[in-house]
Amino acid sequence: MKKKNGKIIVLICFVIIAALIAVIIFLLRKPEEPPKRNVVVTEDNAEEIAERMAEEGYTEPGYYTVNMSTEWNFAKGDAISTDARVDNVAGNTNPVYFDVFLEGKEEESIYSSPVIPVGSFLENIALDKSLEAGTYDCVMVYHLVDEEQKTISTLRVTLQIVVKS
């Protein structure tokens, strides 16, 4: 009987030690961060997002630091803009291209860019679709691409286009 009780006590000690180890591992485990989602950058939150990105100081692969003019002016709907510029800053890790859509009409782009390599920029932009005079709220969808130009993530940014005549 004493031999049987000894085995039960050893078994109970083993279970208690295993449970303690499991609890310690669980407590020491780094909590998982919630998945990051694309954020639409607007005039209202641009400074906050820029500060957050500057604090991070490093652009994680698959993420993108935006550096662009947020208002593009055109003398005419088919003219080249003198102030439209989009940079793919040297701190980024991926080439990028983008499409511009009129807000609420994302089935047809009004401009599709070429791929912009890291450290390069695009300027002297002319729209693919001529617009009448007016001010247009737009959405720019960036596509971060790998070496084979396959999209690995996207980023949405608001943009305003002004056509003078």
Residue extents of the structural domains in the chain: 1-32, 46-163
Model confidence pTM above 0.75: no
Which pLDDT does position 8 carry in this prediction? 81
The residues that bridge with 80 in the sheet, in sequence order, are: 126
Which pLDDT does position 158 carry in this prediction? 93
Which pLDDT does position 75 carry in this prediction? 95
φ, ψ dihedrals at 149, nearest 5°: 60, 35
Which pLDDT does position 153 carry in this prediction? 87
| 3-state SS, one letter per residue, for the chain | CHHHHHHHHHHHHHHHHHHHHHHHHHHHCCCCCCCCCCCCECCCCHHHHHHHHHHHCCCCCCCCCCEECCEEEECCCCCECCCCEEEECCCCCCCEEEEEEECCECCCCCEECCCECCCEEEECCECCCCCCCEEEEEEEEEEEECCCCCEEEEEEEEEEEEECC
Half-sphere exposure of 108 (CA within 13 A, CB side): 4
Which pLDDT does position 41 carry in this prediction? 65
Which pLDDT does position 38 carry in this prediction? 53
pLDDT average per 10 residues of sequence, the chain (165 residues): 72 84 78 55 73 61 78 94 92 91 93 93 94 96 88 90 94
The CATH class of 46-163 is mainly beta
Q: Which two tokens stand for residue 18?
A: 């295993």
Q: Identity (one letter) of the amino acid at 38? A: N
Which pLDDT does position 9 carry in this prediction? 81
Which pLDDT does position 26 carry in this prediction? 76
Which pLDDT does position 61 carry in this prediction? 59
